[in-house]
Structure 1
């Protein structure tokens, strides 16, 4: 488990300085914990399964992958994509689609637990379908 050095009493600025010491992967884990904590505070009556599913649903594409995907899409739109980059874009697109499919499965499971439809759950969580999907 990563450790950072901080003062005993922390201001939000002090806390941010500590967070800035984390590596990207440590930061991602920390953010996941914060999101879970926030969800529990907003809805303390959630079951453990619901909390875990919400955490998985709210986990996006890892920032480094999203950034590279956006770069490659921009290059494709400007017609400057190399054949190697095209292959990379196909691999990343496949990876993103698998993450999206897993997210839908988590949503379906949460809808089952809450005994509601997928559409109603998505409306309740304010999740919109992609414009191109």
Structure 2
């Protein structure tokens, strides 16, 4: 039986990396808003008719809101997973595993962003962390 008051040493490998991706997701929410506004201004400045202005505004809205929704959900999921792991919940371990695998896949082209996900997977596969999250 594992003592739940003592957290495993590699648990921070998981939770810190989840918080890193949480911060990246929040940053991407703001960048989606700015990108949507910039795209709308760019398309509307090149528009020749009123119909082109409307299409540009709709596209900018869709791109901006789509990014906000996607990265907002990602931020919430990373926060929930970090909280579940800190409390030693099994669902937190499973959600963390899914998110870390998705982070490795999505950031594999950018090694700087893929390294925390790989370290998080190493932490998740540690025996002490698995035992800690068996609640």
What TM-score, normalized by structure 2, do the two folds share? Answer: 0.38
Larger Rg: 2
Structure with the bigger percentage of helix: 2
**Higher relative contact order (Cα pairs below 8 Å, separated by 6+ residues):** 2
